[in-house]
Structure 1
Amino acid sequence: MAPSVWAALPDDLLLEVLARVPPFLLFRLRPVSRRWDSILHDPAFLAAHAGVPSHGPCLLTFWRGAAHSPPQCSVLSLPLRARYKLPFGFLPAWDLWLVGSSGGLVCFSGFDGAGFRTVVCNPLTQTWRVLPDMHYNQQRQLVLAADKKRRSFKVIAASDVYGDKTLPTEVYDSKEDKWSVHQMMPAANLCSSKMAFCDSRLYLETLSPLGLMMYRVDAGNWEHIPAKFPRSLLDGYLVAGARTRLFLVGRIGLYSTLQSMRIWELDHGRTVWVEISRMPPKYFRALLRLSAERFECFGQDNLICFTSWNQGKGLLYDVDKKAWSWIAGCASQLCNSQICFYEPRFDAWIY
């Protein structure tokens, strides 16, 4: 389109057009001029941006290079099949670890040299905030949950990473800018530190009592779900699906030649795991060349991504379409890299 046509567009129509441009392309235009940068903070643009469909699923990879070097981040856009670098030099130069992402926000935790810190940021707007200290301020398992309607977010601190069962659950609410103390999790033995959050509920696997522990954020209490694990389950990951769907992903079998990767969904009514899919053998062999290889698994909506050490690519499963596909370059070969799903949004507020 000719420049003269763009120049003749009314401002409100121009903002509507820009709101539909892929967020990463707009982000790269920020240094062009102050005008471009101001547009991305314009309330009218943000309102238009909030009203258009989501860009689609992306994979965010975060890693650090040498000691004291700034963190590095790249985002793989699955709809565009393109990778973009996002600068994270605006964050404090602390030893940070990726917690996760929700609603366009990204959460980190780590140490600033004096104590445990939690940081939430929006990579597109380069805005961030350090959360106040928890009442029991030590390294915890955290989950970020953004609420687009309230324009707020919550951070849930569940168990202690070292297995301390005496710590109560704490919840941070960005609207109140403080942590509230809630019930202690009544579980004696967790299976895994991996947690899944969906439908305002937090789930963890536990051996004692056997099944799942579920934390209702709105009510502030824990409940036990006696859902027995599938037989011969070697390792399991809880993965949150869309709305109320909760998946369990893991390897089944005793020997390398008999192993397989399967996916179950929790039947909330009957409190049982129902198998919904099996990874085809060719993908399983390519993902895990050795039976002892460790894999990572995480999800968003009804997409589940698998990665394994030194693989250089990820495997994506679409639960709705029942389709498997490779994602080239989504898994870094760096041992200190971390990956999560990410939704790029300019209208994700940290205050």
Structure 2
Amino acid sequence: MVVGSSKIVLPLPIIQVPHSLKDVLDEFLGDTVEAPGLRSVTEFAAHQDENDCTPCDGEHHVGAERRQGSTAVETQLICKRSCPEHKEVMSPALWGALPKDLLQIVFAHLPLADSSRLRCLSEEWRDSIETPHSEFIQVCKAVISTHTNSFALISTDKDDMYGVFWVRVFDMKANRWHEFEFDSEKKYCVALVACDGGLVCLLSVVPDVEEEENEDEYDLPKPLLLTVWNPLTGEKYELPCLDHLDGLCPTMLQLVVDPQTMHYKVMVATKDIYEPKIDQQGAYIYDSQSDRWSQAEKSSRVMFGKYYSWPNTNMWSTETVVTRPCVFDFATSRLHTVKVKRQVEPWGRQNLLRPYAITAQDRLFVLDKFITDESFVEVFRILEYHADVNQSGRTNWLFKRVHSCGPFESAPRYSQDRVRLFALKEFLLVCVDSSFRHRKPRLWLYNVCTLEWRELPSLVKYKDIGQDDIMCELRPWYLLD
């Protein structure tokens, strides 16, 4: 912030810890040349604090006594400022007199749904939000790097038609859900396959009417389309078509966002199991900066994740989707599954996958049931694995620890109950869903760092929650070209 001829660097505690308006202004104005009228704003706000608002009685604030003759008459005044009992917007005249630097810090702490509406204030604020490297965006990035205040759970709307998604945004501060619908305008947009940095990658196929009329060509592989989407702004961008991506073969998809350059990359790795003599294995990477696909170069690194395949009907139904934890080796250009060391395998005897989730930090979480030695009762536990690459180059999931499932430790009462597990950075989200429509899902949020569970309020509208749904971050300022 520039005051007079002096330039002040915003101290980090101001971004991390909200102060009262007067304290913040005093801190900024200390030992500086004041801008005309700025001190009067501070004094006016302080005067209002002292004279217009004393301890609240729950409905009104009792002001200072005034004399009427020789009798003291106590007057009741409505609170003129924000307090625990009455939260009232500060006078617009005061907001207009504040330095822009201070306003940016205040607005950066707003909930995401509110901060995205700042573009309606003026052209200047709209440009501040829509310009990737603006000063306001940098302040927002500094704030959000120290606060995780919200996340989104995105589900496909299986009741209506493919291509429609439900976005459920949870505000941790307000402890409430915000829900809205998104139509991708792709009738057969059936899968959410990757997410990172506030962006989501959608996989879809648009059928050809002529092919539907020709039964001989109906089962031929069809190229799939990838679309990158910002669920908070609704913007989306369809990537150039990748010809050999047909969904029949196991396919690993990853989305990586660079927070510095604001560019993103999409990696697609396939494994041809139907024509093993034809080596189509390898990885292709789309770079948003060049807007084109290129074959991944060989290197010593590996990338953990999970693969998808639609072995039946060529992706016409999301029920045919198959997912497995996997790893791509850039040195050999091979995609393969990864063994799990110690404890329990995430695959059952019938090769059915238990609820699991993988984080961007190469951690695997598996939700499973165990029988206790004391009471012989089935209880839930979450097993944590870390990706491991040994000296010989072999990869596996190495067991680390067991997490207790305190609030929902007992197994579901009804056999129709379904348990889902999602992961995002240091958080796990567990959902116990039921096939009975009159019973709403129950949700719990778990912090892997603090080992604390938190039960979340009910969703606003009931929609099925599937294991292929996605838990993702939100970034209101990330705009797609």
TM-score (norm 1): 0.74
Q: Specify the code of the residue in structure 2 equivalent to 1:82.
A: R
Q: Which residue of 2 aligns with 1:73?
A: 167
1:232 and 1:120 mapped to 2: Cα distance? 33
1:329 and 2:458 matched: yes
1:92 and 2:185 matched: yes
1:151-230 mapped onto 2 (5 Å cutoff): 151-159=262-270, 167-168=280-281, 169-182=283-296, 201-204=303-306, 213-215=326-328, 227-228=340-341, 230=343
Q: Which residue of 2 aligns with 1:150?
A: 261
- Listed as ranges, the gaps of 5+ residues in structure 1 are 185-198, 206-210
Q: Which residue of 1 aligns with 2:478?
A: 348
Q: Percent identity?
A: 20
Given candidates 151, 154, 159, the residue that maps to 1:61 is 154
Q: Please, what is the CA RMSD of the aligned residues?
A: 4.0
- The worse-fitting range, judged by mean Cα deviation, of 231-240 and 49-58 is 231-240
Q: Which residue of 2 aligns with 1:314?
A: 443
1:137 and 2:267 matched: no
1:235-274 mapped onto 2 (5 Å cutoff): 235-241=353-359, 243=361, 246-253=363-370, 257-258=377-378, 260-266=380-386, 268=388, 272-274=398-400
Q: Which residue of 2 aligns with 1:188?
A: none
1:201-233: CA deviations, max 9, x gaps?
22349xxxxx97422579966587654353475
Q: Specify the code of the residue in structure 1 equivalent to 2:341.
A: K
2:128 and 2:383 mapped to 1: Cα distance? 44
Cα displacement (A) at 1:3? 0.6
1:285 and 2:405 matched: no
Identify the structure with bigger relative contact order (alpha carbons < 8 Å, sequence gap 6+).
Answer: 1
**Is the alpha carbon distance of 1:106 and 1:236 closer, same or farther for their aligned partners in structure 2, counting shifts above 3 Å?**
same
Q: Specify the code of the residue in structure 1 equivalent to 2:385.
A: E
Cα displacement (A) at 1:132? 1.0
1:24-59: CA deviations, max 9, x gaps?
112345557666544422433223222323452413
| Matched position secondary structure for 1:53 | helix
Assess if the C-alpha contact under 8 Å between 2:129 and 2:137 holds in 1. yes
Q: Which residue of 2 aligns with 1:51?
A: 142
Assess if the C-alpha contact under 8 Å between 1:242 and 1:302 holds in 2. no
- Listed as ranges, the gaps of 5+ residues in structure 2 are 1-89, 209-222, 308-323, 391-395, 435-439
Given candidates 220, 232, 235, the residue that maps to 1:127 is 235
1:294 and 1:341 mapped to 2: Cα distance? 17
TM-score (norm 2): 0.57
Q: How many residues are treated as equivalent by the alignment? A: 327
Report the structure, 1 or 2, having the larger strand content.
1
**Is the alpha carbon distance of 1:70 and 1:52 closer, same or farther for their aligned partners in structure 2, counting shifts above 3 Å?**
same
- Please tell me whether Structure 1 or Structure 2 has the larger radius of gyration of its CA atoms: 2
Q: Specify the code of the residue in structure 1 equivalent to 2:303.
A: R
| Matched position secondary structure for 1:18 | helix
Cα displacement (A) at 1:127? 2.4
Q: Specify the code of the residue in structure 2 equivalent to 1:178.
A: R
Assess if the C-alpha contact under 8 Å between 1:201 and 1:215 holds in 2. yes
Cα displacement (A) at 1:348? 2.5
Cα displacement (A) at 1:303? 1.2
| Matched position secondary structure for 1:285 | coil
Cα displacement (A) at 1:109? 1.4
1:344 and 1:52 mapped to 2: Cα distance? 13
| Matched position secondary structure for 1:27 | helix
- The worse-fitting range, judged by mean Cα deviation, of 137-146 and 325-334 is 325-334
1:247-274: CA deviations, max 9, x gaps?
3313145899445433123373886313
1:40-89: CA deviations, max 9, x gaps?
22433223222323452413233435348854423122233122234535
Assess if the C-alpha contact under 8 Å between 1:298 and 1:304 holds in 2. yes
Assess if the C-alpha contact under 8 Å between 1:107 and 1:119 holds in 2. yes
1:77 and 1:277 mapped to 2: Cα distance? 25
1:304 and 2:455 matched: no
- The worse-fitting range, judged by mean Cα deviation, of 49-58 and 98-107 is 49-58
Assess if the C-alpha contact under 8 Å between 1:241 and 1:300 holds in 2. yes
| Matched position secondary structure for 1:142 | strand
